[in-house]
Structure 1
């Protein structure tokens, strides 16, 4: 498992029995039929070697060697007085370096490693999130039900390749109605509860474009412009209404009806799912007496009857999307999937409680995690460096193959995702990490973090986590200081 993870990226979708081996950046990997079963896509052009340095039986670094490499680089002027670090050898689990390994620290977006691991454990890598349309309680009404898919697209020009599409759902509804045009669209985003912004988020997050309202129905992670597919960009204040309006337009409804889309609750009836014990869904077939409107050949359709459904890409791909570009709204959606799978409210509090519970189920220490959200935007989040390296060990160890999906989206130093522009300067002392560090970054004002895997110069694969939450400088100074530490692990045999 260790050799495979380090020599080439292997994504495992255990539920489908699928293994995908691709060398290219995440943005170019995600082929497959829109909203359906992924299909094989052409191989990407071969890049320069990435993570290809693992050697069978490579010599393991010593604690003294790693300490000699790392200690001089823990710079309080750049990183502050609280820099907590854990480094493990993945093949053996042996601790190679510790500095406050069990200290609860603000993790920023390295929280997403926890979210990714727990949703893969709770839902499985092949799970897909449905978005459904059902007959409403009033004649001519169609209800669009958000299932929590943050990658849902309006049409073929969405932000996420392979995403489920509202225009395709509209075609299903038209067929189910025998060509009759609905008179009203209602959106049901009631799957989520509680506040739409976490109380611990900084005040500028709702308007700064890196976060947005967390709702069960949205398109393109609530982006106002789907073409701005990465980074911070303007988010919609009412993404559920915008999704409903796009859906109504795709149904061919007149402009006044499109503008009249409103929130409501879907009626129960045939095709209405209820939670089952595993967190999936079971479709009710109980008939209802009230007719909602005409169907094919004049037949009446009972309220709650399913008229169509589209499904997200499989869970391991959603985890990839989240990790590669540190997409906060996808992270919050995935935390709520953990909550739903564990019969908790789909809220910030429910997601955090469920994530902590799944960590315990996986044998990870409960005392080393205290989360308030799934994205890491909250300053009240706490994780320890040793928890992060332990979960990387667990995912790489082979005993839980469904967890290997957290590696697929991890940015590669100097090449992809949030690390695409880091580890590139020889003068900065981190260039040795380019291509051999694969890690999740974390950034808030005063907080900088990085955690992932690195291959040493002699071919040994290590797990590492570096968390600094009293940073006195801005990220342009702190990030290179973190990168130098990871680069030192890459450049030395550390023996």
Structure 2
């Protein structure tokens, strides 16, 4: 009987093993496995005429006509290898986040963290928002990175109150760090309703989402109050009696917090913003630039602060009215986008690198994950194109890096404004660079 059991068990096990899916291979590697290694330093330069032959026909057939601007450079030399109305400033949509990323990293540094405090004011605890858009109520064990959480803040607060012999408090909340309108200039009301972005406040939990796990979907109308309600719940679970309902309050000036939690470093926030095209992170980072520059933390102050940073970097052709690109009031030229990508790619600027490492990869990650498929007309760019996308009605943009057939790294930006603007069309332009051996 034992022999029969072992034999049957072995057959079943073999069957299970055969039916189990094979190990996953990184998609970009699988698709780009025929791509050459990086071009040698003595490789022949790109012939702009040959690259133009690749791009001109596709652009002519795109139906974009006068609404298209483009700029392409060789990353190693900075040589311009293709341009079309490159200094014309157009509506950039979410490629604005390249501006926000570089500005924030340059001004604040990649190690900067946003600290949410609990401050004691007599018999009241005040929850003070510092503009951390990734603050969460609680982290699951497998969440990465682990965000600052109200659960942890409540535990630390409860411990501090216990040491002070306090077991009952009132709760206030302070979101006064930000000023001005809660919604950006020219934002559609549907951006909030559809869950593209929450109202921009200095205190929010889980991006103001009613359902944490959904990127899009319902957002709360009053994110600071909801954050305070959730903090009150966590305090009660930590053993603190919270009297009444949380109410708006101003933290005492100069008061030391009794507990704090820190966001992930700015480098991680930038990467998350770029990969997921997270609008609330973008608006938060733009306001951090404003504060660092001595401006008020508002849409107007962020515009001024970011403009000052760009001036210091020597980048022109940019006007931003928000940090996310949801407004149609922004104007950026392809040449400016490529210059920012070049600055962030420069080994002399390691602190800006997260603006590049956060870029989605074609047919693999982020907003480029579903694109560059085998039947898209842009499959040649799969795994070789990395870029920030941008989409609004009548607006499509794409900017980032691409390796060509000879292994050269090129920097590019395409912006299309017009009824025919579509990301799938711009993908074919980037793919044309990838498949070009244009020496």
Partner residue, 1:300: none
Match of residue 331 from structure 1? 282
1: CA distance between counterparts of 2:64 and 2:176? 43
Contact 1:182 1:251 in 2 (8 A): no
Q: Deviations over 1:243-273 (max 9, x none)?
A: 11111111117999587112121112442xx
Hey, what's the Cα distance between the residues in 2 that align with 1:361 and 1:160? 34
1:308 corresponds to 2:264 = no
Q: Paired residue for 2:150, among 158, 166, 174?
A: 166
Among 27, 41, 47, which residue is 2:26 paired with?
A: 47
- Aligned-partner Cα distance in 2 for 1:331–1:164: 18
Q: Find runs of 4+ consecutive structure 1 residues off by over 6 angstroms.
A: 253-256
Aligned to 2:114: 129
CA distance in 2, matches of 1:372, 1:332: 10
Deviations 1:417-459 (A, max 9, x none): 000000012x432001000100000000010010000000100
Whether contact under 8 Å (1:80, 1:468) holds in the other structure is no
User: Is the Cα–Cα contact under 8 Å of residues 181 and 252 in structure 1 kept in the other structure?
Assistant: no
Distance across 2 between alignment mates of 1:188 and 1:194: 15
Give the 3 Å change call, closer, same or farther, for CA 154–68 of structure 1 in structure 2: same
* Larger mean Cα displacement after TM superposition, 199-208 or 61-70: 199-208
Which residue does the alignment assign to 1:414?
Answer: 363
Of 45-54 and 483-492, more deviation after overlay is shown by 45-54
Q: What is the CA–CA distance in structure 2 between the aligned matches of 1:382 and 1:62, rounded to whole Å?
A: 30
Match of 1:450 in 2: 398
- The corresponding residue for 1:472 is 420
| Separation in 2, partners of 1:95, 1:259 | 64
TM-score (norm 1): 0.78
Counterpart position of 1:29: none
In structure 2, relative to structure 1, the CA distance for the partners of 1:396 and 1:387 (3 Å cut) is same
177-186 vs 45-54, which moves further: 45-54
SS at match of 2:107: helix
Structure 1 contact 438–453 (Cα < 8 Å) conserved: yes
Conserved in 1, the CA contact under 8 Å of 2:394 and 2:419?
A: yes
Q: Deviations over 1:304-341 (max 9, x none)?
A: xx110100000010001111111111100010011111
Instruction: Tell me, in whole angstroms, the C-alpha distance in 2 between the residues paired with 1:238 and 1:64.
Output: 56
Q: Specify the SS of the correspondent of 1:183.
A: strand
Contact 2:169 2:240 in 1 (8 A): no
* Offset, 1:56: 2.5
* Deviation of 1:81 (Å): 3.0
**Once the 2 structures are TM-superposed, how far is the Cα of residue 203 of structure 1 from its aligned partner?**
3.1
- After superposition, the C-alpha distances for 1:79-137 in whole angstroms (9 at most, x for unaligned) are 3531000001110000011111100100000000010001000110011010001012x
Residue of structure 1 equivalent to 2:3: none
Question: Do the aligned partners of 1:59 and 1:460 also contact (CA within 8 Å) in 2?
Answer: no
Change (3 A) 1:45 1:404: farther
In the aligned structure 2, how far is the partner of 1:75 from the partner of 1:166?
Answer: 54
* Greater C-alpha Rg: 2
Task: Report the 3-state secondary structure (helix = DSSP H, G, I; strand = E; otherwise coil) of the residue aligned with 1:177.
Answer: helix
Structure 1: runs of 5 or more not aligned: 1-43, 272-305
Residue 394 (structure 1) aligned with residue 343 (structure 2): yes
* Change in CA separation of 1:482 and 1:349 when aligned onto 2, cut-off 3 Å: same
Indicate which of 90, 95, 103 corresponds to 2:80.
95
2:289–2:305 Cα contact (<8 Å) kept? yes
Q: What corresponds to 1:459 in structure 2?
A: 407
RMSD: 2.2
| Cross-structure match for 2:328 | 379
Whether the aligned pair in 2 keeps the contact of 1:80 and 1:471 (CA below 8 Å) is no
Kindly tell me the number of residue pairs found equivalent between the two proteins. Answer: 407
| Counterpart position of 2:66 | 81
CA contact (8 A) 2:119 2:255 kept: no
Task: Name the SS of the counterpart of 1:252 in structure 2.
Answer: helix
Counterpart-to-counterpart distance in 2, 1:234 and 1:76: 40
- For residues 220 and 76 of structure 1, do their structure 2 counterparts lie closer, same or farther at Cα, with a shift above 3 Å needed? farther
Partner of 1:153: 136
